[in-house]
Structure 1
Amino acid sequence: MVCFQLYAASRAMTGLYRPALDALGLTYPQYLAMRVLWQRGDITVRDLGTILDLDSGTLSPLLKRLETQGLVRRERGTTDERTVIVGLTDRGTALRDQAAHVPERIACAVDLTDDEFAQLHHLLGKVRASVTTTI
């Protein structure tokens, strides 16, 4: 059953991240949000939710916890107060260096070649896109 393999692989991968992320004080979803912010800089909550495929009911508490930790700041947009922009604090930016080893650590723990990683990434993206369009 492909669905079980996807489910079990997802749980196993998330479990691989846990020790490294615990040391950083982040959960896996918080880490994903931080990765987007490290790569893109300031972003609207709506765009962050779209990228992470999270609704506001999930994303808002996640961002609130990151803000409480002093890693991000949320500000109302200047042209439209309904828009909320999320950005990194100095502490959040500094955490990027501490987290830099995480992707390599995970890649080393998974016994795939670079080509297999690329193929897996492509296939998972294809599955996700096709499932998303049929829902």
Structure 2
Amino acid sequence: MQTPVDLLTLDRQVCFALAVAARNVIALYRPLLEPMGLTHPQYLVMLALWEHSPRSVTDLSTALALDPGTLSPLLKRLEAAGYVTRRRVEGNERMLAVGLTAEGRALREQAERIPPAIIDRLGMPIADLEHLHAVLTEVIAASRTTPESD
């Protein structure tokens, strides 16, 4: 008779593996981001703005999968650091646009060194990292869908 699989063991939990992996990988970013004066969440905001600037807070919130209440303090700190501006959109006083300052745009050059450094520190083949990214993207999409009611 085969022993039943215990579905509640820690090492079988997807949430545990994701949490530990995320924490460990983000920790690799800290020493690279500190000289730039950025935290990892701020780095993600800057990545979104380097792709497209200016952006509305709503657009940034969607792109980063963060609620506006979480995003707002990040934007205030980035503005205080001189990397972004926050301005009301002309003709729509309720909409806030976030744009890069010259200093924020210039920071991109330093940031270009981060991905290769992370790849080096992980010591994994690029193909494995690309596959991991693809699978995680699927997990994100699957977690956003609402299961059908039985």
TM-score by length of structure 2 reads 0.87
CA-to-aligned-CA distance 1:68-99 (integer Å, 9 cap, x gap)? 01100011111211111000001111111111
The aligned counterpart of 1:69 is 81
Alignment-derived partner of residue 97 in structure 2: 85
CA distance in 1, matches of 2:116, 2:95: 35
Deviation per CA, 1:37-96, whole angstroms, max 9, x where unpaired? 111121101000001011111100100000001100011111211111000001111111
User: Greater share of helix residues, 1 or 2?
Assistant: 1
Identity rate, percent? 47
Q: 1:24 aligns with which of 18, 36, 49?
A: 36
- The correspondence for 1:113, drawn from 125, 132, 137, is 125
Among residues 44, 48, 55, which one is paired with 1:43 in the alignment?
A: 55
**Rg bigger for which structure?**
2
Unpaired stretches in structure 1, ≥5 consecutive residues? none
**Equivalent of 1:96, from 104, 108, 111?**
108
Structure 1 CA distance for aligned equivalents of residues 114 and 146 of structure 2 = 34
Structure 2 unaligned blocks of 5 or more: 1-12
User: Is the Cα contact below 8 Å between 2:30 and 2:40 reproduced in 1?
Assistant: yes
- Please give the secondary structure, in 1, of the residue aligned with 2:92: coil
CA RMSD of aligned residues (A): 1.1
* Corresponding residue number in structure 2 for 1:7: 19
User: Residue 18 of structure 2 aligns to a residue in which SS?
Assistant: helix
Give me the whole-angstrom Cα distance separating, in 2, the residues matched to 1:83 and 1:2: 38
Aligned length: 135
